[in-house]
Amino acid sequence: MHPVLADIVQCPKCQSAVITPDDPFDGQALFCTNPDCTYARTGFPMVANAPVLIDFEQSVVSRGAVADLGHVAERRRADNTLARWLYNFLTRSPGPTAANARTFLAEVKKLSNDPVVLVVGGGSIGFGAEALYNDPDVTVIGSDIYRNGNTDLVADGHRIPLADKSVHGVWIQAVLEHVLEPHRVAREIHRVLAERGLVYAETPFMQQVHEGAHDFSRFTASGHRWLFRGFDQIDAGVTRGPGTVMIWSIRHLVRAIFRSNKAGTAAAMAFFWLRYLDYLADGRYVADSASGVFFLGRRSRRAVGHGDIIAYYENLGQPVEADRASHHGGALSPQHSR
């Protein structure tokens, strides 16, 4: 078990402490300390020394599937490595993620001399998120529903098995579309963040289904802001614009006609130049047709109101003062769209 987790993990069902009968960190199964909890009897498994703290009664992940999830995920990625690399090389613009990661890290470091960042959905390193893992001054805890080299904690984001206010930052990139209840996940992120803790999220808007049966939701810029209404906005905007949307659409149109992933990928690569049109789009227009959106915010004690979210849309793309919501109780419009 990752050393930092020893002091902050808890039962995902009842939020009680978890231990093993003899030594809480010797690699055995973990058990809830609440005698009335189901997991005081059944316990939680360990996979390759990573705790599996999932409330199996309230998750799409079953106890029996845990051991196989890592192998399935790794095999799926390995089977598509070449096609994925070619598609990303020819169709993926740099986007704002790398710059946002630097801002996120700078803000997190202001909170502590030894900040801890939880990556929800951290089984693989997100595109542009490398700075998180390369910064020696930040402790990164990777969590996902399967175990691999980047996963320190096997957990379901609907019930994050960490104590209240136990981490300084949460990074959740291309994950919220894969959870059944995104608003619950956002509330959990708010709960585990320290006072003024940072969240960074990237979520699709106009993208076709990916990850098959594990794909559930999409968000407009306004919907994404409402999802994180318990946070003061530092920045928000578009990850990629309508040119990238066109590439996705061409890929899936050809894929559907020929019933072939390879044919779809080949067609998308032929239109790689469309992604450069993203640089010509700006403001509310690009937000209305974005491939995906991002949000960078700070944990707040006040939430954005219902009426404020309408004004938020009207001001998309206009510069504003950061954290205005914390002073006026209203929504923030993105400082810029990308």
What domains appear along the chain, each with residue ranges and CATH number? 71-328 (3.40.50.150)
φ/ψ (deg, to 5) at 132: -60, -45
Q: What is the pLDDT of residues 237-254, one digit of tens each?
A: 999 999 999 999 999 999
Comparison of pLDDT for 82 and 198, the residue scoring more: 198
pLDDT band at 322 (very low <50, low <70, confident <90, very high): very low
- Predicted confidence at residue 67, as pLDDT, reads 65
Exposure string for 33-64, b = 16+ CB within 10 A, e = fewer = bbeebebbeebbbbbeebbbbbbbeebbbeee
> What percentage of the chain carries pLDDT values higher than 70?
83
Q: What is the pTM of this model?
A: 0.89
Above 90 in pLDDT, residue 23?
Answer: no
Give the CA angle between residues 172, 174, 177 to the nearest 5°: 105
Above 80 in pLDDT, residue 325?
Answer: no
Mean pLDDT of the chain: 87
Above 70 in pLDDT, residue 336?
Answer: no
- Predicted confidence at residue 334, as pLDDT, reads 37
